């Protein structure tokens, strides 16, 4: 009887912990989204983009963020036309694809007792799972590289230490929107310095 009571209490505490954890993750996501929306909206307005309101729409914010650096983006000697659409495709489509691959891997790794007893099927399933996991990892790496490149180019719009901003934005939670909020009030790198009145 005492063990059942202990087990029930432990299960309740674990459930409460999970609910609190999910609530904190949700709250952090909402705060990050709101800060990013405010920053992207302000910068888009300053850049003269007519559809700055897209900063408040989830996929629109992703598009607008990439549009801050231009619609045709030069990477080395290559000009990438319609970069904001490509960015949305890589970030949103890539995330969906990687998540789908991971779900398929998890589903396929659930094998029956009959399959476990058959060693060759188990090895084939493991090899397929490993391959799919590697593909998902490559997709996530591509997403990360494209996201950091775009973040760097957005920070480069402003005067300041672009590399430091990018490192902080990539590594620290809330750093990117806070840096964008601070930079949003500073002059753009291509603006001439204001001449003091004599």
Task: Report the domain count for the chain.
Answer: 1
Residues of the chain with pLDDT under 50: 112-113, 119
pLDDT of residue 84: 94
Q: pTM for this one? A: 0.77
Domain assignment present for 75: yes
Domain assignment present for 198: no
Domain assignment present for 190: no
Domain assignment present for 143: yes
Domain assignment present for 35: yes
Residues 6+ apart with CB under 8 A from 169: 151, 155, 175, 176, 179
Domain housing 53: 2-183
| Distance, CA of 94 to CA of 100 (rounded, Å) | 10
Burial of 147 from C-beta contacts in 10 A (0-12 / 13-18 / 19+):
buried
pLDDT of residue 83: 93
Domain assignment present for 177: yes
Buried b (16+ CB within 10 A) or exposed e, 2-35: eeeeeeeeeeeeeeeeeeeeeeeeeeeeeeeeeb
Handedness of CA 25, 28, 30, 32 (dihedral sign): negative
pLDDT of residue 194: 56
Q: How does pLDDT run across 168-198, given as a tens digit for each residue?
A: 999 998 899 999 999 988 888 876 555 555 5
Domain assignment present for 59: yes
Domain assignment present for 188: no
């Amino acid at each position: 009887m005492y063990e059942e009571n202990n087990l029930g209490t432990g299960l309740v505490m674990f459930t409460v912990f999970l609910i609190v954890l999910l609530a904190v993750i949700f709250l952090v996501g909402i705060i990050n989204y709101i800060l990013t929306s405010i920053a992207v909206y302000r910068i888009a307005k300053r850049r003269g983009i007519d559809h700055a309101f897209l900063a408040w729409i989830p996929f629109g914010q992703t598009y607008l963020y990439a549009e801050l650096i231009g619609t045709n983006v030069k990477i080395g000697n290559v000009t990438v036309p319609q970069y904001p659409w490509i960015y949305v495709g890589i970030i949103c489509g890539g995330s969906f694809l990687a998540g789908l691959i991971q779900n398929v891997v998890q589903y396929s790794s659930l094998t029956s007792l009959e399959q476990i007893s058959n060693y060759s099927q188990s090895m084939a399933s493991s090899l397929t799972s490993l391959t799919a996991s590697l593909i998902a990892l490559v997709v996530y790496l591509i997403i990360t590289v494209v996201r950091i490149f775009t973040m760097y180019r957005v920070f480069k719009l402003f005067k300041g230490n672009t590399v430091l901003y990018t490192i902080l934005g990539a590594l620290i939670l809330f750093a990117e929107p806070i840096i964008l909020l601070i930079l949003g009030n500073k002059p753009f790198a291509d603006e001439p310095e204001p001449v003091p009145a004599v």
